[in-house]
Amino acid sequence: MPVIANADDIPNALLDAPGRGPCTALLMARPTHFQVESAINPWMKDAQGRLNLVDRDRAIAQWNALAQAYRDIGITVHEIDGPPGLPDFCFSANQSLAYRDTDDQPAVVLSSMANASRKSEVAHFERWYRDHGYAVHQFPEELWPFEGTGDAIRHHGQHAFWGGIGPRTSIEAWNFVARATGAVVIPLRLTDERFYHLDTCLCVLTTRTALYVPSAFDAPGLERLQAGFEDLIPLCTEDSRNFACNAHCPDDKHVLIQRGSDATVKALTRRGFEVVELDTSEFMKSGGSVFCLKQELP
């Protein structure tokens, strides 16, 4: 499948893409060793420029509540644990991109992490995938970096991805992803360092509806988004800083979201979504929330 950059081509490309069912299973990584050890994104320091301090017991309780919230709406949650020395391991959206191949078999493209502190995470996920019967595809080193579903956001209902281009994923990555997965890929360039992954500024809710942060994209990206969605919901500044775009809607119905984004919750409720507000404040200290903490499994 191709990379689609022309906005006029996007509606038909999405219609012609193979169908894909709703998410029914996730892989989540326990935050056993979670902490902020270095600042690799703008959210990881406080107003005085010091590294944020994490309450790990509280983080584990928040993670358990998120996993239970998924189970409560019928999603199977698989768990993986990492060794000491990998403080960002729990952000399991980043180390891989799982999908079904053309033979309808589970497969995965492993990530090539942008920061040296996170590179060792990938091997642990690779082991899990191999143990569970996935075909594993290594990401070419010369196309570095690529950070999985941190920047590859699925378009609901179709085998298609919106692909973030920024500090964590190169523009060259998307041609490989399109070839390896057989999916349509629509690239979106990120323009604000605060929104370093696409999952911080775009949340696909249904095949026609998405949350987004308009200021995070360049003009061509905004045109592509407008071509791909009938109902784009812009976030206010307050809610974008509260990681409302790092929400997750696995089933076109339930939206799991960081609590306190009142304007966004009202917009979602008006559209008939069932909103599940959660506390992910400890993980926000490292620049992530709901979406970052899981990997959709095919």
Length of the chain: 298
Rounded Cα–Cα distance for residues 276 and 255 (Å) = 6
116 by Cβ neighbours in 10 Å (0-12 / 13-18 / 19+) ranks as exposed
Torsion angle in degrees (nearest 10) through CA of 186, 119, 31, 280? -40
**Residue 110 pLDDT class (50, 70, 90 cuts):** very high
Q: Is the pLDDT of residue 82 over 90?
A: no
Q: Is the pLDDT of residue 273 over 80?
A: yes
Closest to 212 measured CA to CA, from 164, 253, 260, 147: 164
Q: Is 292 a catalytic residue?
A: yes
Classify residue 267 as left (phi > 0), alpha (psi -120 to 50) or beta.
alpha
Q: Is the pLDDT of residue 40 over 90?
A: no
**Residue 2 pLDDT class (50, 70, 90 cuts):** confident
Query: For strand 295-297 and strand 25-29, is the pairing parallel, antiparallel, or unpaired?
Result: antiparallel
Q: Would you call 92 helix, strand, or coil by DSSP?
A: coil
Tally of CA atoms within 13 A in the half-sphere of 83 that contains its CB: 8
Domain range summary for the chain, segments of one domain joined by +: 24-297
The pLDDT tens digits of the residues spanning 130-169 come to: 999 999 999 999 999 999 999 999 999 999 999 999 999 9
Catalytic residue selected from 197, 245, 249, 254: 197
Rounded Cα–Cα distance for residues 274 and 276 (Å) = 7
Instruction: State the residue for tokens 């920047």.
Output: 151
Q: Is the pLDDT of residue 1 over 80?
A: no
Which tokens in the block code for residue 248? 């997750």
Rounded Cα–Cα distance for residues 262 and 284 (Å) = 17
The pLDDT tens digits of the residues spanning 188-207 come to: 999 999 999 999 999 999 99
Instruction: State the residue for tokens 């308009």.
Output: 214
Instruction: Please state the φ and ψ torsions of residue 266, each to the nearest 5 degrees.
Output: -65, -40
Closest to 253 measured CA to CA, from 272, 267, 234, 270: 272
pLDDT of the residue at 220: 98
Q: Which residues pair with 146 in a beta bridge?
A: 112
Q: Are 185 and 163 in contact (CB under 8 A)?
A: yes
Query: What average pLDDT does range 70-84 have in this prediction?
Result: 96
Low-confidence winner among 43-52, 70-79, 260-269 (lowest mean pLDDT): 43-52
Q: Are 125 and 133 in contact (CB under 8 A)?
A: no
Give CA separation, 276 vs 186, 256, 261, in Å.
29, 5, 12
Contacts of 244 (CB under 8 A, 6+ apart): 203, 211, 235, 257, 258, 261, 264
What pTM does this model have? Answer: 0.96
Q: What is the CATH number of domain 24-297?
A: 3.75.10.10
Q: What is the CA radius of gyration of the chain?
A: 17
The pLDDT tens digits of the residues spanning 209-218 come to: 999 999 999 9
Q: Is 249 a catalytic residue?
A: no
Question: Please, what is the average pLDDT of the chain?
Answer: 97
Which tokens in the block code for residue 272? 């008939």
